[in-house]
C-alpha cells in the first residue's frame, strides 16, 4: 500500500502517524506548533479530524453543558462547532504539513466530512473506531476515495471487523492494496492489561492487508512492543503539554516523548534482522580469543 509517496507493508519502514486529533483545542496556531513537533521528531504523517458536528453528534448530547472550555461554558454542540476547522483551515494546514514533507491524513466522522476530505486531496482517509459500524462511511470511502483507507478497530467485536472489511472490499471491488487495519482499545488512557497487543497477530492472520497499532496508553513501552510484534503503521496522539485542557491530552505524548518514540522505533527496525543465523564479522575477534579458532 502507498500512503503519500511511501510504501507501507511487511519488511518496510514503519509508517508513523502523529495524531493531532482535537489536541489543537480549536486553534490553528496550536495545530501548526504540533505539526512542527511532528516534523522535528521525524514522523511520516500528521492526522487531524473532520466532523460535521450536527451530523456526527447524537441529538441527545447537543444541549449537555460542557464546562471549562477555552470559550467558557457551552452546550456540547456549540463546543463541537468551536473545535471544528473549516475547509480553508484544513487546506492551509495541509499545505503547512506538506512544507514539512509530512503526509496529511483526516479522520472522518460522517459522509459530509468524507466528501470534504476527498476535496482536500488528503493522503489517506481514516475511519475512526466509533464509525466502524457505519456502513455509509465504510462504503463511501471505498467507492469514492482514491487514497488509502485506514480503519481503526477499537470498541468492536471480530464479527463487526469482519463485516466492515467485507463491506469495504465489496464496495472497492476487492482492492486490498487500499485498506489498512489498526488494532486499538478505545480507552483514554488505556490500562496495560487492556491493550491486548497480540491482536496484531490475530488481525494479520485473518486479513491480507497492512496491520498497525493505534495506542492510547501512557508511556512508550507498549507501542515499541507493537513494533516487535510486526505493526506496520503506528499512530499516537501528540500534545504540547499533557496538562492542557481537553479530553485527549492525558493519553498523548509530549514532544520529547515523540522524538524518543521515533528514535526507538527506527532502532528496533534495525535490530529485528532477517531471522537467518549468521556469524558477524564483529564477532570474529571474540571467537578467536575465546575459541582459539576463526
Enclosing domain of residue 32: 2-291
**pLDDT at residue 176 in the model:** 59
Q: What is the CATH number of the domain that holds 39?
A: 3.20.20.70
Asked if 232 and 15 count as a contact pair (C-beta separation under 8 A), the reply is yes
Residue 76: its pLDDT value, please? 92
3-class SS of residue 91: helix
CA-wise closest residue to 126 among 99, 105, 103:
105
CA angle 172–178–181, rounded 5-degree value: 105
pLDDT in tens, the chain (294 residues): 999 999 999 999 999 999 999 999 999 999 999 999 999 999 999 999 999 999 989 999 999 999 988 899 999 999 999 999 999 999 999 999 999 999 999 999 999 999 999 999 999 999 999 999 999 999 999 988 889 999 999 999 999 999 999 988 888 865 557 999 999 999 988 999 999 999 999 999 999 999 999 999 989 999 999 999 999 999 999 999 998 988 889 889 999 999 999 999 999 999 999 899 999 999 999 999 999 887
Q: Where are the beta strands (DSSP E) in the chain?
A: 2-3, 6-7, 15-21, 45-50, 65-69, 72-75, 103-108, 124-127, 149-152, 179-183, 211-215, 233-237
Q: Which of 112, 71, 140 is nearest to 151 (CA)?
A: 140
pLDDT in tens, 136-175: 999 999 988 889 999 999 999 999 999 999 988 888 865 5
Cβ–Cβ under 8 Å, residues 107 and 128: yes
Task: Give the H/E segment covering residue 83.
Answer: helix 76-83
3-state secondary structure of 180: strand
Report the domain count for the chain. Answer: 1
CA angle 180, 183, 275 (to 5 degrees): 80
Three-state DSSP class for 197?
coil
Amino acid at each position: 500500500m502507498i500512503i503519500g509517496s511511501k510504501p507501507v507493508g511487511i519488511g518496510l519502514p514503519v509508517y508513523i502517524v502523529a495524531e493531532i486529533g482535537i489536541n489543537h483545542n480549536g486553534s490553528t496556531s496550536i495545530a501548526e506548533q504540533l505539526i512542527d513537533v511532528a516534523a522535528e521528531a521525524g514522523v511520516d504523517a500528521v492526522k487531524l479530524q473532520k466532523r460535521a458536528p450536527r451530523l456526527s453528534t447524537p441529538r441527545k448530547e447537543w444541549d449537555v453543558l460542557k464546562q471549562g472550555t477555552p470559550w467558557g461554558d457551552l452546550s456540547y454542540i456549540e463546543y463541537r462547532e468551536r473545535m471544528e476547522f473549516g475547509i480553508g483551515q484544513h487546506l492551509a494546514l495541509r499545505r503547512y504539513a506538506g512544507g514539512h514533507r509530512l503526509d496529511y491524513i483526516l479522520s472522518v466522522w460522517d459522509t459530509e466530512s468524507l466528501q470534504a476530505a476527498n476535496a482536500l486531496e488528503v493522503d489517506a482517509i481514516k475511519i475512526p473506531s466509533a464509525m466502524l459500524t457505519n456502513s455509509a462511511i465504510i462504503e463511501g470511502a471505498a467507492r469514492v476515495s482514491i487514497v488509502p483507507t485506514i480503519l481503526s478497530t477499537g470498541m468492536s467485536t471480530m464479527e463487526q471487523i469482519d463485516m466492515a472489511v467485507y463491506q469495504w472490499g465489496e464496495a472497492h471491488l476487492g482492492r486490498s492494496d487500499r485498506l489498512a487495519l489498526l488494532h486499538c482499545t478505545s480507552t483514554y488512557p488505556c490500562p496495560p492489561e487492556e491493550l491486548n497487543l497480540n491482536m496484531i497477530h490475530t488481525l494479520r492472520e485473518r486479513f491480507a492487508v497492512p496491520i498497525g497499532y493505534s495506542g492510547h496508553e501512557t508511556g512508550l513501552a507498549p507501542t515499541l512492543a507493537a513494533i516487535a510484534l510486526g505493526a506496520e503503521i503506528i499512530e499516537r496522539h501528540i500534545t504540547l503539554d499533557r496538562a492542557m485542557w481537553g479530553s485527549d491530552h492525558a493519553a498523548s505524548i509530549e514532544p520529547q516523548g515523540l522524538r524518543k518514540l521515533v528514535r526507538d522505533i527506527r532502532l528496533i527496525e534495525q535490530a529485528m534482522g532477517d531471522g537467518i543465523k549468521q556469524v558477524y564479522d564483529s564477532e570474529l575477534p571474540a571467537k578467536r580469543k575465546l575459541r582459539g579458532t576463526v
